[in-house]
Structure 1
Amino acid sequence: MPRFNVIFTALILSALVHSQSLKASEIQNEAWIVVGKASLSVLWFDIYDASLLTLNGQFESYQQPLAIQLLYKRNISKEDLLKETDKQLKRFVTEEGVRSRWINELAVIWPDINKGDQLVYQTDLNRVGHFIFNQRLIGSIKDPLFSETFPRIWLSPDGKYPKLASRLRGESTIGAKQ
């Protein structure tokens, strides 16, 4: 009987892993169109190149399916990424409990970032936010408020980098760096 349990458990785990990879390929195979591109540099440090993609090539709202691709130009620890994300989210969500819950979820999902890594945030039609790291789905957050708020870090004119946001939204093509 124990052997049956081991085999059954292995089959279930295999099915879960397979369904996770199918989901990642389904997400990545959408017909995404680039809306805008920009690069973020702080002082003399290049941080990342960013792209906003949507299904129709236009940014219309935070509720539409969209993808934000970040190609990192430097190493960033998960801890630093979480701290900076929390700091940026404070601009849009004042409720500490909500932000804390999101940061805790991100802490489980996100890895340390190395130069050359790509992290993609993507929302689907059900307003679920998915994270794809170097072409692999690493986790999802099923909170419509998160899916509406998180992209504001890069896309809102009220964010820390309004010029970058404007370029990503396709409103400005003058210059490529924030």
Structure 2
Amino acid sequence: MAFLVKTRPYLLPPNNGIWRVALLALCLLVAKGLAASPVTKGLNDAQLRGTATFRYLGLPIYDATLYTPKGAPFSWSEDIALQLTYRKNIKKKALVNSTLEEMDRIGRSVPVRDQLDRCFKAVVKGDSYLAVSDGPDKVSFWLNGQQTCTMTYPGIKRSFMSVFLGDNTRSASFTRRLQGR
């Protein structure tokens, strides 16, 4: 046994006490990370409500996740958090322009190009944007856990979030799944 200690210590039986301490430490770190996430900071009692993948011409563009207070059914009268995790690279200009075009298409356009231009950055595959509403007139944005900005404008929550959650989205089935229906 002494020979193994010197030449091949990885062959020794595992020390379960060390593994238990390591697992406990990992669990505490993960729990702390979740408690401090932008979703839980920005939305009280945030719980997952629904998920959906948005596709364009059959190609997946992003995965969307909706959080509501206590996972309650989606309601415009409650604050919400919407996370988009991108499956492809998209330039900043394309994000800004497509958002404004969609807001205009669904009849919810507002003059916020300058604010969107400050909020949005180019994304690469795997990046996540999170939008969290704070009342009807404020939406804060995070990119990969770092806050990029807070947009304020009368009715901005409904104007922006309607692109994904409104009655006239590009995909009714996407919206239903995202809303958890």
Q: Is the aligned partner of 1:69 residue 2:79?
A: no
Q: Which residue of 1 aligns with 2:50?
A: 36
**Structure with larger Rg:** 2
Decide whether the 8 Å contact of 1:58 with 1:169 is kept in 2: no
Decide whether the 8 Å contact of 2:135 with 2:157 is kept in 1: no
Decide whether the 8 Å contact of 2:39 with 2:81 is kept in 1: no
Decide whether the 8 Å contact of 2:132 with 2:139 is kept in 1: yes
Alignment coverage as a number of residue pairs: 146
1:120-158, CA deviations, whole angstroms, 9 ceiling, x for partnerless residues?
Answer: 011024742000110011100122411122111111231
Q: Which residue of 2 aligns with 1:82?
A: 96
Question: Aligned in 2, Cα 1:80/1:163: closer, same or farther, shift over 3 Å?
Answer: same
Query: Unmatched 5+ residue regions in structure 2?
Result: 1-35
Cα offset for 1:40?
1.2
CA distance in 2, matches of 1:26, 1:60: 17
| 1:14-53 correspondence to structure 2 within 5 Å | 27-28=41-42, 30-53=44-67
Question: Aligned in 2, Cα 1:118/1:126: closer, same or farther, shift over 3 Å?
Answer: same
Cα offset for 1:25?
8.5
Q: Is the aligned partner of 1:158 residue 2:158?
A: no
Query: Unmatched 5+ residue regions in structure 1?
Result: 1-21, 172-178
Q: Which residue of 1 aligns with 2:147?
A: 137
1:75-134, CA deviations, whole angstroms, 9 ceiling, x for partnerless residues?
Answer: 000111111111110133366xx3xx2122100111101111000011024742000110
Give the alignment's TM-score, normalised by structure 2: 0.72
CA distance in 2, matches of 1:153, 1:161: 10
| 1:84-99 correspondence to structure 2 within 5 Å | 84-93=98-107, 98=110
Question: Which structure ranks higher in relative contact order (CA pairs < 8 Å, sequence separation ≥ 6)?
Answer: 1
Give the aligned residue type for 2:165: L
Percent identical residues? 24
